[in-house]
Structure 1
Amino acid sequence: MELRQTNGNAFFLKKRLKLTLLIGLIGVLYVGASLVLDFNSAAFLYLDRGIIWLAKNFIPNSQSMAYWQEILGALIRTLLVSVAATSVAAVISLGLALMGAKSTGPSQVVSWVIRGFASFMRNIPIVGWAMLLLFSFKQNDFTGFLALLFLSVGFLTRAFMETIEDVDIEKIQALQVTGANYFQVVSQAVLPEICTPLISWVLYMIENNLRDATLVGLLTGTGIGFVFDLYFKSLRYGPAGLVVLAIIILVIAVELSSNFVERRIAHD
């Protein structure tokens, strides 16, 4: 009994030591980064002043409502770009996923190539894609569309492949035994099984792209991101606050719509 208690105390002591070392390491990294960046940690003491300034300047007022048509137009453009990029990416990703999944792909080599391609595409951040594409396509909606498309293809391809590989292999083999060709197997055994999770992934990607499109717009000079940047730099803080409020409302509305669609699909 005493030996067990001693071992237990040693275990918890070791855990506390690791936790202490981890906290100490985080503290050292923070201090080091602060010194390199010349970051003034005392700014935390004045955080309340910054919040008060935001409340005074960024709360939309009656004058801000004069900009609502311009803001609504930019918001709709941003939403359309997000939906278009996600829709095209979903079609491309489904084809790649069917060729890359172990249960439906032609070979292991093809699967490795597609997995590597998907990892490459999704590991480049959206800002990186936007900055790279700016050199060739300049500042326009198409640049933002491509940036969202490339990232979405990488993400959805990997998600679709994992979804396809979760399908019961016995159903696929049963159709193959009856002499069904590749397209019959995919249409009758794979797609019906993965339809619901695929729609869920696409809806999730639309939500994610809507958030990313706001940031991309700052770089590509389009959409709601550009409108916010324009108002902010011209010191029109009230309209800028209205832009932020509009983005929040749109994101929540899209999320609620996605949840409703997913519940209906699951119920059916």
Structure 2
Amino acid sequence: MDTDILRKKKWRTTIIFILLIVLTYSSAVITEFSLIEGIIAIPGTVIWMAVNLIPSSEALENLPKVLERLWETIVLSIFATMTATICALFFAMMGSKTTQVQHFVGIAARFVASIFRNIPVVAWALMLVISFGHNVITGYFALFFSTFGFLVRMFIETIDEASSDGVEALKATGSTYLQVVFKGVLPDTMPQMLSWVFYMIETNIRSATLVGILTGTGIGYLFDMYYKSLNYEMVGLITITIVLVVFAIEFASNKIRRAIS
């Protein structure tokens, strides 16, 4: 019996592996992509980047302006993430099978979150530009909507996986809904939820650069302006500052996550 099960698993794994190879090859043929040509082009690309993207002393004189725009992007990302977190936590409580008040409400909450999650942040930015124009509000809502949809799903999975036993014990003792949430759900799930929040802050800082290009705000606006004017030294300086900030935030968030776990 065990041998038959293992044989079936091997066949399924083999079939899936073959399908992935076929899909990969088909995609390369359709897009006319050549892996060999791509590998050959890597050294030339690295040399071009080393020559053109290294900031000069003249570019470094604009560092204060870059940092000002970068700070605007960081603040926007954090604010959008934190406000989305509050709304996502509420919807996750309604959508989780462990804490939902009514089954229909739970389905509705998960459905709304699914819609927001499956629309990319770029699509949100393009749609919102039509309504709000090129300003910070557009960037905020684009980040807020995509973050909200993602966090609702992650929070629901966290609640269902981490707190079901504790919730059942509290319900058996006659605890109220709020007591179940604040004494059974949040203490067990808060470390994992905070991990997802920090992850979204990191992600949103990267996404905010692209959103800024579309909305004409933040560090993305500077990147787009210098890129279109072929000022690659400034493009390199902006890219380096973004990378350093993301690394710094990732380092800090890892420290915090280890401290609270």
Q: How many pairs were matched up?
A: 253
Pairwise CA distance, 1:167: 3.6
Change (3 A) 1:102 1:61: same
Distance change in 2, residues 1:45/1:217 (3 Å): same
Report 1:48-197 matches (<5 A): 48-197=43-192
Q: For 1:210 and 1:110, how far apart are their aligned partners in 2?
A: 33
Q: Distance in 1 between matches of 2:65 and 2:143?
A: 23
CA contact (8 A) 2:94 2:101 kept: yes
> What are the superposed Cα offsets for residues 179-220 of structure 1, whole Å, 9 maximum, x if unpaired?
332112211111111111111111111111111111111101
Structure 2 partner of 1:198: 193
The one of 207, 210, 230 equivalent to 1:212 is 207
Superposed structure 1 runs of 4+ greater than 4 Å apart: 17-22, 41-47
- Aligned pair in 2 of structure 1 residues 20, 170: CA closer, same or farther (>3 Å)? closer
Normalising by the residue count of structure 1, what TM-score does the alignment of the two structures yield?
0.85
How much identity, in percent, do the aligned residues show?
41
Q: Which residue in 1 is equivalent to 2:247? A: 252
Equivalent residue for 1:238, pick from 228, 233, 238: 233
Contact 2:84/2:145 (8 A) holds in 1: yes
In 2, Cα distance between equivalents of 1:21 and 1:187: 47
Compared CA separation, residues 231 and 181, structure 1 to 2 (3 A): same
Whose radius of gyration is greater, 1 or 2? 1
In the alignment, which of 29, 32, 35 is matched to residue 30 of structure 2? 32
Contact 2:93-2:100 at 8 Å conserved across structures: yes
TM-score (norm 2): 0.88
Unaligned runs of 5+ in 1: 1-7
When the two chains are superposed, the root-mean-square deviation of aligned CA atoms in Å is 2.6
Change (3 A) 1:61 1:193: same
Aligned to 1:5: none
What is the CA–CA distance in structure 1 between the aligned matches of 2:156 and 2:120, rounded to whole Å? 21
1:127-155 deviation digits (Å, cap 9, x = unpaired): 10100100001111111110010001101
Partner Cα distance (2:18, 2:180) in 1: 56
> Match for 1:137: what amino acid?
F
Shift of the 18–72 alpha-carbon distance from structure 1 to 2, 3 Å rule, reads closer
What code does the residue aligned with 1:217 have? Answer: G
Alpha-carbon distance between aligned partners in 2 of 1:236 and 1:63, rounded to the nearest angstrom? 11
Shift of 1:107: 2.0
CA–CA separation in structure 2 for the residues paired with 1:153 and 1:54: 36
Q: Is the 8 A contact 2:163 2:188 kept in 1?
A: no
